[in-house]
């Protein structure tokens, strides 16, 4: 019979050596954690693996409408890929950005396999976390280079790496209450410039009491500057030029902000303080005659005020200057595969199924009105049918023409979020305090330059 060693306590208890061992392990874990921390400091992401392309359980992060659209396509996907189990999670927007950012800062820990990312966040993610997203090129993405709308490929590639595949490409739109325009004796289709729109707005306000449009004046949400941004893009400029220099003080920017001030001073701008809820309330109560929102917004209007079917029309926005462009791709979203994913091949299979098959895109457009970046999708009849809600217009074709039109590439840069905040503040100063547009924008440009270290464009 083996005797216990002299110093051992009775069996069943924890001996000192074992306790010290456990303590040592815990301390080692504690000491090892800084290494993980160092990963987050360097922004590096653990390299993932391709995994089995036919057998995996993958998770997708998206938000409201797109998440619902993807969920609806999962059963069809699984008939082709029975071994791949897909869970689509509606994280919500803007909550999804915080969730992705935190996970990427933690070296990719906890990220879903497939990530839905807007063009406003993609450059920052790819620049700050170079390994955060998988390179889709080796997985087969490069063969779709010419399948998407003009400019889309530039927005998803960086230094030869394909960070995502384009999903939706939204063109600037001009949704308007045709009945109110008619009551004021204004032809909505005849508005050539935004100056014409201001004149029309005055007539509409006088005849119906309704504002021309609404803006979130105190910028309670970051997208308060959407309209200003659209006016910039209609002039072929943005917050940064192609070289990444700040162009907030450009004549085009001043023109755009001056237009907004003119509208506001004329009493044509209702306040949408409160963000999305205020916008919805505004549409339901009909406080604005025009909604200068992109392609996807049409289905939102239809959903909010279905009884107003036939009272609405849609067109591309007026130009800022006579003869100027009326087409601008104002935003896009994309599907990416996380760099930390252990199932990159299966995740790519899902992305490819959703984004490169016209049938998938057609189904998404039918259910949520999301306009595809995939040009071949537009061959489907649904994009060429008259819309009952929009007074029998061919809404799909209107936006398709905008998508085909050459619109200047937009450099969002890694500092877009900071620029957007600075612009929104400048707009608030103009709208609430009557600040001079040029001065407010030059101050904003200087502040942005100091914060980011970027140069000001001459």
Partner 1 sequence: MTTTTTDGVLTAAGVSRPATAPRPTARILRRRAVPYLFILPALVLFAVFKLYPIGSSFLMSLYENVNGTQEFVGAGNYTRALDDPLLWTALKNTAIILVVQVPVMLALAVGIAVALNSTVLRGRAFFRLGFFMPTVTGLVAYGIIFAVLLNTQYGLVNWLLGLVGIGEVPWLTDPLWAKISLGLALTWHYTGYNAVIFLARLQSLPTELYDAAAVDGASAWQSFRHVTLPGLRPALLLTTVLSTIGTLQLFDEPYVLTGGGPDNATLTIGVYLYQNAFKYFDFGYASAVAYILTVLIGILGIVQFRLLGEKS
Give 281's contacts (C-beta < 8 A, 6+ positions apart): none
Which CB atom, from 137 or from 222, has the smaller least distance to partner 1? Answer: 222
Sole window of 134-142, 247-255, 267-275, 292-300 interacting with partner 1 (rule: CB under 8 A): 267-275
Rounded CA gap, 242 and 413, in Å?
Answer: 9
Kindly determine how many residues on this chain lie close enough to bind partner 1 according to the rule CB under 8 A.
53
Which of 73, 122, 124, 246 forms a contact with partner 1 (CB under 8 A)? 124
Which CB atom, from 42 or from 80, has the smaller least distance to partner 1? Answer: 42
Sole window of 127-135, 260-268, 298-306, 366-374 interacting with partner 1 (rule: CB under 8 A): 127-135
Asked if 95 interacts with partner 1 (CB under 8 A), we say no
Which of 17, 21, 33, 388 forms a contact with partner 1 (CB under 8 A)? 33
* Buried b / exposed e along 12-29 (16+ C-beta atoms within 10 A): eeeeeeeeeeeeeeeeee
Asked if 140 interacts with partner 1 (CB under 8 A), we say no
Q: Give the pairing type, strands 290-291 and 56-62.
A: unpaired
For residue 173, CA distances in Å to 23, 230, 258, 329, 337 come to: 64, 9, 21, 10, 31
Asked if 281 interacts with partner 1 (CB under 8 A), we say yes
Radius of gyration of the chain (CA): 26
Residue 145: cis peptide before it, omega within 30 degrees of 0: no
Which of 1, 2, 13, 29 forms a contact with partner 1 (CB under 8 A)? 29
Asked if 26 interacts with partner 1 (CB under 8 A), we say yes
Closest CA to 365 of 384, 352, 349, 348: 384
Least distance to partner 1 from the beta carbon of 114, Å? 21
Asked if 274 interacts with partner 1 (CB under 8 A), we say yes
Residue 262 Ramachandran class (φ > 0 left, ψ -120 to 50 alpha, else beta): alpha
Token pair 């270290």 is found at 453
Which CB atom, from 151 or from 339, has the smaller least distance to partner 1? Answer: 339
Site for partner 1 in 389-448 (CB under 8 A): 414-415, 417-418, 421, 424-425, 428-429, 432-433, 447
Sole window of 54-62, 65-73, 199-207, 215-223 interacting with partner 1 (rule: CB under 8 A): 215-223
* Buried b / exposed e along 400-419 (16+ C-beta atoms within 10 A): bebbeeebeebbbbbbbebb
Asked if 228 interacts with partner 1 (CB under 8 A), we say no
Binding mask 37-76 for partner 1 (x = CB under 8 A): x--xxxx---------------------------------
Closest CA to 126 of 100, 98, 147, 148: 100
Asked if 11 interacts with partner 1 (CB under 8 A), we say no
Rounded CA gap, 332 and 352, in Å?
Answer: 17
Coil vs helix vs strand at 117: strand
Which of 61, 63, 77, 129 forms a contact with partner 1 (CB under 8 A)? 129
Residues forming the site for partner 1 (CB under 8 A): 4, 6-8, 16, 19, 23, 26-27, 29-30, 33-34, 37, 40-43, 97-98, 101-102, 105, 124, 127-131, 217-221, 271, 273-274, 278, 281, 414-415, 417-418, 421, 424-425, 428-429, 432-433, 447, 450-451
């Amino acid at each position: 019979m083996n005797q216990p060693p002299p110093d051992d306590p009775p069996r069943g208890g924890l001996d000192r050596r074992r306790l010290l061992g456990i303590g040592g392990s815990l301390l080692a874990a504690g000491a090892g954690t800084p290494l993980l921390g160092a990963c987050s400091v360097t922004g590096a992401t653990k390299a993932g693996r391709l995994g089995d392309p036919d057998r995996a359980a993958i998770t997708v992060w998206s938000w409201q409408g797109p998440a619902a659209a993807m969920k609806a396509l999962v059963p069809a996907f699984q008939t082709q890929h029975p071994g791949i189990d897909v869970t689509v999670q509606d994280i919500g927007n803007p909550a999804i950005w915080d969730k992705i950012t935190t996970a990427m800062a933690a070296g990719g820990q906890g990220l879903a396999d497939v990530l839905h990312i807007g063009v406003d966040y993609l450059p920052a993610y790819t620049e700050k976390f170079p390994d955060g997203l998988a390179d889709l090129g080796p997985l087969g993405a490069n063969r779709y280079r010419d399948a998407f709308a003009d400019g889309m490929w530039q927005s998803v590639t960086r230094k030869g790496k394909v960070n995502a595949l384009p999903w939706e490409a939204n063109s600037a739109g001009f949704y308007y209450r045709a009945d109110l325009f008619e009551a004021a004796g204004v032809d909505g289709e005849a508005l050539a410039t935004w100056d014409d729109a201001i004149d029309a707005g005055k007539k509409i306000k006088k005849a119906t009491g309704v504002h021309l449009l609404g803006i979130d004046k105190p910028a309670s949400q970051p997208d308060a500057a959407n309209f200003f941004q659209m006016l910039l893009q209609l002039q072929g400029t943005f917050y940064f030029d192609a070289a990444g220099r700040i162009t907030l003080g450009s004549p085009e920017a001043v023109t755009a902000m001056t237009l907004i001030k003119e509208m506001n001073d004329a009493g044509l701008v209702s306040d949408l303080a409160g963000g999305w809820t205020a916008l919805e309330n505004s549409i339901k109560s009909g406080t604005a005659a025009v909604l200068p929102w992109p392609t996807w917004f049409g289905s939102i209007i239809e959903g909010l005020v279905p009884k107003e079917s036939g009272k609405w029309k849609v067109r591309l926005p007026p130009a800022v200057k006579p003869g100027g462009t009326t087409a601008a791709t104002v935003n896009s979203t994309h599907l990416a595969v996380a760099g930390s994913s252990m199932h990159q091949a299966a995740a790519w299979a899902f992305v490819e199924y959703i984004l490169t098959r016209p049938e998938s895109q057609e189904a998404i457009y039918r259910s949520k009105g999301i306009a595809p970046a995939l040009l071949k999708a537009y061959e489907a009849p649904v994009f060429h049918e008259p819309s009952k809600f929009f007074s029998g217009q061919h809404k799909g074709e209107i936006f398709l023409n905008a998508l085909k039109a050459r619109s200047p590439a937009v450099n969002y840069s890694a500092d877009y979020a900071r620029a957007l905040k600075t612009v929104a503040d400048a707009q608030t100063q103009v709208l609430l305090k009557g600040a001079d547009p040029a001065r407010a924008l030059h101050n904003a440009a200087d502040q942005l330059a100091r914060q980011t270290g970027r140069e000001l464009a001459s």
